[in-house]
Amino acid sequence: MRISISLRMAALAASFFAAVGAAYANDNGVWIGTTASGSRQIEIAVADMATPGDDKDELGKKTAGMINFDLKSTGFFKPQENREFVRQAVEKDLSAPGGVAYAEWKTLAANFLVKGNMGFNPDGSIFMDTRVYDLQAKKIYFSKIYSAPKPLFRQMVHQFSDDLLNRLTGETGVSRSKIVFVSRQNGKKELFTMDYDGNNPTQVTSDRSLALFPNYHPFKDMALFTTYRYRNPDLYAIDINTGARYPVSRKVGANMTGKWSPDGQKIAFALTHAGSSDIYICDADGKNTIQLTSWPSIETSPAFSPDGKHIAYTSDRTGMPQIYVMSVDGKDNKRATWTGSYNDTAAWSPKGDYIAYASMTGSNFNIALVNVNESRDVRQLTSGSGSEETPTWSPNGRNIAYSGNSGGVKQIFIMNADGTNQTQITNLPGGGYSPSWGPAPTAK
- Mean pLDDT in residue range 248-275: 94
Same domain, 104 and 132: yes
Same domain, 106 and 202: no
- Domains held by the chain: number: 2
> Edge-to-edge, what's the strand order for the sheet holding 126-134?
77-79, 42-46, 112-120, 126-134, 139-148
At which of 120, 144, 169 does a domain end? 169
At which of 104, 135, 169 does a domain end? 169
pLDDT tens digits for 287-343? 999 999 998 899 999 999 999 999 999 999 988 999 999 999 999 999 999 988 999
| CA pair distance 207, 191, nearest whole angstrom | 9
Is the pLDDT at 264 greater than 90? The verdict is: yes
3-state secondary structure (DSSP) of residue 86: helix
Is the pLDDT at 33 greater than 70? The verdict is: no
The pLDDT, as a whole number, for residue 258 is: 98
Bridge partners for 216 per DSSP: 223
Is the pLDDT at 28 greater than 50? The verdict is: no
The pLDDT, as a whole number, for residue 275 is: 75
Same domain, 143 and 46: yes
Same domain, 290 and 422: yes
Is the pLDDT at 252 greater than 50? The verdict is: yes
Same domain, 161 and 188: no
Same domain, 117 and 244: no
Does residue 21 fall inside a structural domain? no
Q: For the chain, what is the mean pLDDT? A: 88
At which of 169, 204, 233 does a domain end? 169
For the chain, give the secondary structure using H, E and C.
CCCCCCHHHHHHCCCCCCCCCCCCECCCCCECCCCCCCCCCEEEEECCCECCHHHHHHHHHHHHHHHHHHHHHHCCEEECCCHHHHHHHHHHHCCCHHHCCHHHHHHHCCCEEEEEEEEECCCCCEEEEEEEEECCCCEEEEEEEEEECHHHHHHHHHHHHHHHHHHHHCCCCCCCCEEEEEEEECCEEEEEEEECCCCCCEECCCCCCEEEEEEECCCCCEEEEEECCCCCCEEEEEECCCCCEEEEECCCCCEEEEEECCCCCEEEEEEEECCEEEEEEEECCCCCCEECCCCCCEEEEEEECCCCCEEEEEECCCCCCEEEEEECCCCCCEECCCCCCCEEEEEECCCCCEEEEEEEECCEEEEEEEECCCCCCEEECCCCCCCCEEEEECCCCCEEEEEEEECCEEEEEEEECCCCCCEECCCCCCCCEEEEECCCCCCC
pLDDT-based confidence at residue 58 (cuts at 50, 70, 90) = confident
> Edge-to-edge, what's the strand order for the sheet holding 211-216?
211-216, 222-227, 234-239, 245-249
Name the residue range of residue 190's domain.
7-14+175-437
| CA pair distance 360, 323, nearest whole angstrom | 12
- Read off the CATH number of the domain in which 118 is found: 3.40.50.10070
Amino acid identity at 426: T
pLDDT tens digits for 368-414? 999 998 768 899 999 977 899 999 999 999 999 999 998 889 999 99
The pLDDT, as a whole number, for residue 39 is: 60
Same domain, 285 and 332: yes
pLDDT tens digits for 223-250? 999 999 988 999 999 999 999 999 999 9
Same domain, 140 and 229: no
- Asked whether the beta carbons of 256 and 226 are under 8 A apart, the reply is yes
Same domain, 264 and 219: yes
- Read off the CATH number of the domain in which 289 is found: 2.120.10.30
| CA pair distance 29, 318, nearest whole angstrom | 53
Is the pLDDT at 442 greater than 90? The verdict is: no
- Determine the distance from the C-alpha atom of residue 64 to the mean position of all C-alpha atoms in its chain, rounded to a whole number: 22
Bridge partners for 113 per DSSP: 45, 133
Does residue 20 fall inside a structural domain? no
Same domain, 235 and 362: yes
pLDDT tens digits for 148-178? 999 999 999 999 999 999 999 999 999 999 9
Q: Is 82 exposed, middle or buried (0-12, 13-18, 19+ CB in 10 A)?
A: exposed
Same domain, 183 and 94: no
Same domain, 245 and 141: no
pLDDT tens digits for 59-81? 899 999 999 999 999 999 999 99
